[in-house]
Amino acid sequence: MFGGTNGEPDYLALQKRAKVACEEVQAALVCLWPGQTGAEKVARNLVLEGLYGTRSWTPIEGLPPERLEDALDVLRAFEAAYTATGEQAPSREAVAALLQTCRDQLAQQAQAAQVAAVSAAAEAVF
Mean pLDDT for 22-43 is 94
pLDDT at 98: 94
> How is the chain split into domains, by residue range?
5-125
pLDDT at position 4: 56
Cβ contacts of residue 69 below 8 Å, gap of 6+? 17, 21
The predicted pLDDT at position 2 comes to: 45
Distance of CA 40 to the CA centre of its chain: 19
Q: Is 99:74 a contact under the CB 8 Å cutoff?
A: yes
Q: What is the pLDDT of residue 43?
A: 93
pLDDT of residue 38: 93
pLDDT band at 7 (very low <50, low <70, confident <90, very high): low
Write the pLDDT tens digit of every residue in 47-101: 999 999 999 999 999 999 999 999 999 999 999 999 998 887 788 999 999 999 9
Give the per-residue pLDDT at 1: 43
Check residue 74 and give its pLDDT: 97
What pLDDT is stored for residue 93 in this prediction?
93
Q: What is the pTM of this model?
A: 0.82
Whether pLDDT at 126 is above 80: no
Q: What is the distance between the terminal CA atoms of the chain, rounded to a whole angstrom?
A: 38
